[in-house]
């Protein structure tokens, strides 16, 4: 789902960059020393998982883990994915620096939305938690695919078919990520349930 350089229109690039800056600023405000190891682990997990990708037109499909990242990090999913995507662009030329804002937004915002919609429901009974975690993982991938498709759609008529194909190609990724998210949440409920008590998305950031 990395969009390379030279494809998106200037307004789409500018809008994605502006929203990513805002999201990252909020993420940093909600980030403290206690959350730093969690952010580092999720950034590394995304970095490794999304290196294995299948090219598809002007983009690609791969594991994202943004649903799980959103559940565990809340707003901090923005800086976590921004750092991982920046390193991928610099080290492996995945995506690009000019598209860094759009690529971050299309993956981090769905993760945040997954937390808003499903986050508090993953702290319920075992079955409800598993179902909600599956929905969070699948929902985040679906939203990411929709955002990438919209970015391509608003960049020119030539990418309309590619946008539709991208959404279809992400259906199996949705299922895979849903199961992965459910298994991860089930494991964390047993060994470290406090990680699922909510990453304090609505907490008032502490002054430093």
pLDDT digits (tens, 9 = 90+) for 159-205: 677 667 777 777 888 999 999 999 999 898 888 877 775 554 444 44
- Give the pLDDT confidence score for residue 192 in this predicted structure: 81
Share of the chain above pLDDT 70, in %: 88
Between 156 and 109, the more confident residue is 109
pTM of the predicted protein model: 0.85
Angle at 191 between CA 190 and CA 194, to 5 degrees: 90
Reply yes or no on domain 10-196 having CATH 3.10.20.30: no
- CA distances for 84 relative to 22, 80, 124, 169, angstroms: 18, 6, 31, 23
- Give the pLDDT confidence score for residue 86 in this predicted structure: 95
């Amino acid at each position: 789902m990395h969009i390379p350089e030279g494809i998106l229109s200037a307004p789409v690039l500018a809008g994605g960059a502006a929203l990513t800056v805002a999201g990252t600023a909020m993420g940093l405000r909600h980030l403290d020393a206690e959350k730093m190891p969690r952010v580092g682990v999720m950034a590394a997990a995304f970095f490794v998982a999304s290196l294995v990708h299948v090219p598809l037109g002007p983009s690609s499909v791969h594991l994202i883990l943004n649903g799980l990242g959103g559940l565990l990090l809340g707003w901090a999913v923005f800086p976590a994915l921004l750092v991982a995507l920046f390193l991928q662009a610099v080290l492996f030329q995945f995506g690009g620096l000019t598209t860094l804002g759009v690529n971050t937004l299309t993956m981090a915002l769905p993760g945040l939305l997954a937390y808003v919609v499903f986050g508090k429901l993953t702290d319920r009974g075992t079955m409800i938690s598993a179902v909600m975690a599956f929905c969070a993982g699948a929902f985040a991938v679906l939203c990411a695919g929709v955002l990438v498709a919209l970015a391509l759609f608003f960049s020119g008529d030539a990418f309309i078919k590619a946008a539709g194909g991208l959404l279809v190609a992400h259906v199996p990724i949705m299922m895979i990520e849903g199961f992965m998210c459910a298994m991860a949440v089930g494991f964390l409920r047993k060994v470290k349930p406090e990680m699922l008590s909510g990453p304090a998305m609505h907490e008032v950031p502490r002054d430093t």
